[in-house]
Amino acid sequence: MDYSYREPVYPIGVVARLLRVCPATLRIWERKGLIKPSRLGKNRFYSKCDLETLGYIKELIQRKRINIEGVKTILKSKRCWEIKNCKPQERERCKVYLNYAKV
């Protein structure tokens, strides 16, 4: 995996704008334990990986109408490709993975 994928470089305002949510929403999701951004002093920074997770969280909460505890349970569960140790090229042909990746 590319190191930059996990590097926290996006400030909360940029992330909020990209996800079309307000910064307060991101703070609430953090306080509820859905995401843990990196901190530099009091400032929050997010990685590309965090952005993908936040997009998934937004989908679950806003479109699928799943509550916070349900989202926590889903985020803690392992995906089938993690259990089966699928190679990246196998994942690109997997309907389940592709459905998850486009969220």
CB neighbours of 11 closer than 8 A, spacing ≥ 6? 43, 44, 45, 46
Domain 3-76, second-level architecture: Orthogonal Bundle (1.10)
Q: What is the pLDDT of residues 53-81, one digit of tens each?
A: 999 999 999 999 999 999 999 888 877 76
Per-residue model confidence (pLDDT) at position 11: 97
pTM of structure: 0.76
Q: Which of 34-38, 87-91, 92-96 has the highest mean pLDDT?
A: 34-38
Confidence at 92, pLDDT banded by 50, 70, 90: confident
Q: Per-domain residue ranges for the chain?
A: 3-76
